[in-house]
Structure 1
Amino acid sequence: MHNQDIFDVTIIGGGPAGMYAAFYAGMREMKVKLIEGKDQLGGFLHTYSDKTIWDVGGLPPMKCAKLIDWLVQQAGTFEPNLVLGQSVDALTRQDDGVIGLHTLTGEVHYTRSVIVAIGRGIAEVQKLELDSAHHYERSNLHYTVQNLNYFAGKKVLISGGGNSAVDWALELADLADRVSVVHRQDAFRAMEHNVKQMKSRVKVFTPFKIDRLYGNGERINQVAISNLETGEDIDLEVDEIIISHGYSSQASNLARCGLVMEEGMIAMNQLGETNVPGIFTAGDCAIREGKVRLIAGAFNDAIVAVNSAKTYIEPTAAGMAYVSSHNELFKEKNRDLEKSDSLNGKMK
Structure 2
Amino acid sequence: MSNELYDVTIIGAGPVGLFAAFYSGLRSMKTKIIDAEPAVGGKVRYFFPEKIIRDIGGIPAISGANLVANLKEQAETFHPEIVCNERVVNVVKLTDGTFQLTSQNGSIHFSKTIVIATGSGTFEVNRLEALHAENFPEAIYYDVKNMEQFRDKVVAVSGGGNSAIDWAQTIEPIAREVHLIYRGEDFKAHEESVKALKKSRVQIHIHHEISELTGFNNQLSATTLYCKQTKTTKTISTDALIVNHGVKVDLGTMAEWGFELADFGIVVDDEMKTTVPGIFACGDSASYSRKIRIIAAGLHEGPIAINSAKKYLEPAAADEAMISTHHESFIN
Give the TM-score normalised by structure 2: 0.95
2: CA distance between counterparts of 1:115 and 1:322? 20
2: CA distance between counterparts of 1:249 and 1:22? 24
The Cα offsets for residues 60-109 of structure 1, whole Å up to 9 and x where unpaired, read as 41211111110000001111122222111101111111111111121211
Question: In the comparison of the two structures, how many residue pairs are matched?
Answer: 330
Return the letter of the residue paired with 1:114: I
Return the letter of the residue paired with 1:174: P
The Cα offsets for residues 163-196 of structure 1, whole Å up to 9 and x where unpaired, read as 1110111111111000011101111111111111
Specify the alignment match of 2:79 in structure 1: 79
Specify the alignment match of 2:312 in structure 1: 312
1:210 maps onto 2:192 in alignment: no
Structure 2, unmatched stretches of 5+, are none
1: CA distance between counterparts of 2:295 and 2:264? 20
1: CA distance between counterparts of 2:33 and 2:144? 28
Specify the alignment match of 1:166 in structure 2: 165
Structure 1, unmatched stretches of 5+, are 336-348
1:334 maps onto 2:319 in alignment: no
> Contact 1:144 / 1:242 at 8 angstroms: preserved in 2?
yes
User: 1:63-78 residue pairs with structure 2 within 5 A?
Assistant: 63-78=63-78
Deviation at 1:132, TM superposition (A): 2.3
Specify the alignment match of 1:96 in structure 2: 96
Q: Which moved more, 1:244-253 or 1:158-167?
A: 244-253
Specify the alignment match of 1:340 in structure 2: none
2: CA distance between counterparts of 1:224 and 1:309? 54
Specify the alignment match of 1:22 in structure 2: 21
Bigger Rg, which one = 1
1: CA distance between counterparts of 2:2 and 2:204? 61
SS at match of 1:45: helix
2: CA distance between counterparts of 1:259 and 1:134? 40
SS at match of 1:302: helix
Specify the alignment match of 1:339 in structure 2: none
SS at match of 1:166: helix
> Contact 2:325 / 2:331 at 8 angstroms: preserved in 1?
no
Deviation at 1:256, TM superposition (A): 2.3
Q: Which moved more, 1:218-227 or 1:15-24?
A: 218-227
Specify the alignment match of 2:48 in structure 1: 48
1: CA distance between counterparts of 2:212 and 2:133? 9
> Contact 1:116 / 1:282 at 8 angstroms: preserved in 2?
yes
> Contact 2:131 / 2:211 at 8 angstroms: preserved in 1?
no
1:117 maps onto 2:117 in alignment: yes
Q: 1:212 to 1:317 in 2, by over 3 A?
A: same
1:284 maps onto 2:284 in alignment: yes
Deviation at 1:127, TM superposition (A): 1.0
2: CA distance between counterparts of 1:3 and 1:38? 21
Return the letter of the residue paired with 1:166: I
Deviation at 1:131, TM superposition (A): 4.6
Specify the alignment match of 2:106 in structure 1: 106
User: 1:118-133 residue pairs with structure 2 within 5 A?
Assistant: 118-133=118-133
Q: 1:131 to 1:253 in 2, by over 3 A?
A: farther
> Contact 1:251 / 1:264 at 8 angstroms: preserved in 2?
no
SS at match of 2:77: coil
Superposition misfits of 4+ residues, deviation over 2 angstroms: none
1:148 maps onto 2:147 in alignment: yes
Q: 1:3 to 1:96 in 2, by over 3 A?
A: farther
1: CA distance between counterparts of 2:198 and 2:24? 44
Return the letter of the residue paired with 1:291: K
Q: CA RMSD in A?
A: 1.5
The percentage of aligned residue pairs carrying the same residue is: 34
> Contact 1:120 / 1:249 at 8 angstroms: preserved in 2?
yes
